[in-house]
């Protein structure tokens, strides 16, 4: 009985759109996910400190720019007025010095901004690298059942799309968050310094903007999560359709496959459209709030200038600060949305990393030299609880003995092989190798004793020689050819262009199914293990 018959698998195209939509309204664990991201950032605290220092410096230099520039505006205005009154003129040397000081401020701001962006880019890529490395290691510790329950495309989406989203957000989001906060408070301080009254008028618009931002973020959150989920579904559809395109065509299922893809794609379109549309409302809303504040400041500022409460240069600087004051609010609102997208992606990545792992005995027994006596003692097993597949199976295979398991499709032949290789552990009884329960042996150590030919032939892109040598990486060319001869594969390999250097394509479709099977048998033969499992009748 094959595992595919026992464990429900995702249909072609992964999860149905309906099943995906069922989970979209569940609240996202935003705080928990961010806490996990911060744990990954912990080793980079010194880098983040420097990022913070340079980000603050860059922002402060930028904040002081309008105030310094306002001195030049005031000098030109007052000099012009004095010239008209015949009492003086414009001191261009003073103006030149002010402009040079302003230029220096902005150059320093740009330099600090460049450094903090460079450091943060390195940190974000290191995090992405670490996550990919951890997922790769996690895959080796995952139970076999996980990959039978979940589509390959969804797993690939977590490694590619979700980690890329996480890395890009870290690179841009953290620095934007720091600079926006510093800009907000820095600009606020300069506005209060110039005119508390004008500042009060400007601040009236902040609660309005905050309420609007909060409303938009709350509406867009679930659609960002849906978008990440559905990207996994689309990837699964594409990956499985390309992998099984011959089967799809052989059974004339093109239209059904296209319908399934269109359904998933349509659902993704709706989620992506809604998330982007709602997010796009942010800019018009903030622009309206900004322009309304600007009009009020312009009217009141003009009145104060006429009363000589503030200078013309201060009005010019204050107008710049009003525009700068709304910009960090806009950026913070955008960061909020980006963080939602990052949290949705990170949640999927960490959900995979938090999956249950296979466990081995804390102290694995050493096998020593394996003789190859295998005993099945009252073995019981089920893929699903209360649905037993194997009940009280007993058998003994002596060293050097060849045993064939014969039965109808679904009788449990492949299941016995998977239990022997510890892809699954028995529910009851024991499988004993040379007198040792295999559950007391480390999985990798156990599997090193077996060579295996699977029902599904797996070959990678590369030469035939490289595919055979996969069974023993340090094998010589002569050993590879001897293994091919033993598997009766040498004759057809010799007829191919380049013989053993013939390149197998990605899907191994440029050789026949029987030839693929012979190459896998040659690979198993080359490994020269103590025991050989042939999970295929023709082999």
Comparing CA positions, the residue from 215, 214, 204 lying closest to residue 326 is 204
Q: Counting runs of H as helices and runs of E as strands, what totals does the chain give? A: 20, 8
Secondary structure class of 408 (helix, strand, coil): coil
pTM for the whole structure:
0.60
User: In the structure encoding, which two tokens stand for residue 115, read together?
Assistant: 């450094």
User: What DSSP assignment string belongs to 93-110?
Assistant: HHHHHHHHHHHHHHHHHH
Distance CA 329, CA 538 (A): 68
Contact 396, 430 (CB under 8 A): no
Residue owning tokens 């001869």: 485
User: What DSSP assignment string belongs to 429-452?
Assistant: EEEEETTEEGGGS-HHHHHTTEEE
Q: Cβ-count burial of 167 within 10 angstroms (0-12 exposed, 13-18 middle, 19+ buried)?
A: buried
pLDDT in tens for each of the 539 residues of the chain? Answer: 333 333 333 333 333 333 333 333 333 567 777 777 788 788 888 888 888 888 888 888 888 888 888 888 777 777 777 777 767 777 788 888 888 988 998 899 899 989 988 888 888 888 888 888 888 888 877 777 777 777 777 777 777 788 888 888 777 777 788 888 888 888 888 888 888 888 888 777 777 777 777 777 777 777 777 777 777 778 777 877 777 777 777 777 788 888 888 888 888 888 888 877 877 777 777 777 777 777 787 788 878 877 777 887 888 788 888 777 767 877 777 777 777 777 888 888 888 888 777 766 555 666 666 788 888 889 888 887 778 888 888 888 888 888 888 877 777 788 888 888 888 888 888 888 888 888 888 787 888 888 888 777 778 888 889 989 888 888 888 898 998 998 888 888 888 898 889 888 877 778 888 888 888 888 888 888 888 888 766 65
Q: Cβ-count burial of 260 within 10 angstroms (0-12 exposed, 13-18 middle, 19+ buried)?
A: buried
Contact 446, 422 (CB under 8 A): yes
| Domains, in order of start, for the chain | 15-353 (1.20.1560.10), 374-447 (3.40.50.300), 453-534 (3.40.50.300)
SS3 letters across 179-193: HHHHHHHHHHHHHHH
Residues 154-207: tens digit of each pLDDT? 777 777 788 888 888 777 777 788 888 888 888 888 888 888 888 888 777 777
Q: Positive or negative CA dihedral for 346, 347, 352, 353?
A: positive
Distance CA 242, CA 13 (A): 11
Other C-beta atoms lying within 10 Å of the C-beta of residue 108: 16
Secondary structure class of 384 (helix, strand, coil): strand
Q: What percent of the chain has pLDDT over 70?
A: 91
Distance CA 481, CA 537 (A): 24
Q: Taking the CA of residue 272 as centre, how many other CA atoms within 13 Å lie in the half-sphere pointing to its CB?
A: 11
Residues 440-484: tens digit of each pLDDT? 887 878 888 888 887 777 788 888 899 898 888 888 888 989 989
Torsion angles phi and psi, residue 158, rounded to 5: -65, -35
Distance CA 51, CA 370 (A): 57
Contact 187, 325 (CB under 8 A): yes
Comparing CA positions, the residue from 201, 199, 177, 204 lying closest to residue 188 is 199
Secondary structure class of 58 (helix, strand, coil): helix
Contact 15, 267 (CB under 8 A): no
Bridge-based pairing state of the strands 450-453 and 531-534: parallel
Distance CA 213, CA 148 (A): 43
Nearest-10 Cα torsion for 170, 108, 181, 290: -110
User: In the structure encoding, which two tokens stand for residue 293, read together?
Assistant: 């504040």
pLDDT at 373: 85
Comparing CA positions, the residue from 364, 330, 378 lying closest to residue 445 is 364
Comparing CA positions, the residue from 529, 363, 530, 360 lying closest to residue 443 is 360
């Amino acid at each position: 009985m094959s595992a595919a018959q026992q464990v429900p698998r995702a249909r072609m195209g992964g999860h149905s759109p309906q099943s995906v939509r069922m989970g979209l309204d569940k609240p996202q664990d935003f705080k928990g996910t961010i806490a996990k991201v911060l744990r990954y950032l912990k080793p980079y605290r010194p880098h983040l400190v420097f990022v913070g220092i340079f980000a603050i410096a860059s922002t402060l230099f930028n904040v002081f720019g309008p105030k310094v520039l306002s001195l030049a505006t005031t000098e030109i205005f007052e000099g012009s007025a004095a010239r008209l009154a015949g009492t003086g003129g414009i001191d261009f040397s003073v103006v030149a010095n002010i402009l040079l000081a302003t230029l220096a401020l902005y150059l320093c701001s740009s330099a600090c901004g460049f450094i903090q962006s460079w450091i943060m880019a390195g940190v974000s890529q290191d995090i992405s690298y670490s996550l990919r490395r951890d997922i790769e290691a996690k895959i080796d510790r995952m139970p076999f059942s996980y990959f039978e329950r979940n589509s390959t495309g969804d797993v690939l989406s977590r490694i590619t799309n979700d980690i890329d989203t996480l890395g890009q957000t870290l690179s841009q989001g953290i620095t934007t968050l720091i600079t926006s906060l510093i800009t907000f408070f820095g600009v606020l301080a300069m506005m209060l310094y110039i005119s508390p009254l004008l500042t009060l008028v400007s601040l009236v618009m902040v609660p309005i903007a905050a309420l609007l931002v909060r409303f938009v973020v709350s509406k867009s959150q679930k659609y960002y999560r849906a978008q990440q989920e559905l990207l996994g579904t689309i990837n699964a559809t594409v990956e499985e359709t390309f992998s099984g395109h011959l089967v799809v065509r052989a059974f004339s299922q093109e239209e059904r496959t296209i319908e399934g893809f269109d359904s998933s794609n349509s659902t993704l379109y709706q989620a992506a459209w809604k998330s982007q549309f709602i997010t796009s409302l942010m800019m018009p809303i903030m622009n309206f709030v900004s322009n309304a504040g600007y009009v009020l400041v312009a009217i009141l500022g003009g009145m104060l200038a006429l009363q000589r409460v503030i200078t013309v240069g201060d009005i010019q600087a204050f107008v710049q600060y009003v525009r700068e004051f709304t910009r960090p609010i806009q950026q913070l609102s955008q960061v909020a949305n980006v963080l939602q997208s990052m949290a949705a992606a990170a949640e999927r990545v960490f959900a995979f990393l938090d999956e249950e792992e296979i466990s081995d005995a804390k102290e694995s027994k050493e096998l020593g030299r394996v003789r190859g006596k295998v005993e099945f003692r009252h073995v019981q097993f089920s893929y699903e609880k209360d649905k037993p597949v194997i009940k009280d199976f007993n058998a003994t295979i002596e060293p050097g003995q060849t045993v064939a398991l014969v039965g109808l499709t679904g009788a449990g032949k492949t299941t016995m092989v998977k239990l022997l290789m510890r892809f699954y552990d028995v529910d009851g009884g024991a499988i004993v190798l040379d007198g040792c329960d295999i559950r007391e042996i480390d999985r990798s150590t156990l599997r090193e004793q077996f060579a295996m030919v699977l029902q599904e032939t797996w070959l990678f892109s590369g030469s035939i020689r490289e595919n055979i040598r996969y069974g023993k990486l340090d094998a010589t060319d002569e050993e590879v050819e001897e293994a091919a001869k033993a598997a009766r594969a040498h004759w057809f390999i010799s007829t191919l262009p380049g013989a053993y250097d013939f390149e197998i394509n990605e899907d191994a479709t440029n050789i026949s199914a029987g030839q693929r099977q012979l190459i896998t048998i040659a690979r198993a033969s080359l490994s020269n293990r103590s025991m050989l499992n042939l999970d295929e009748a023709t082999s």
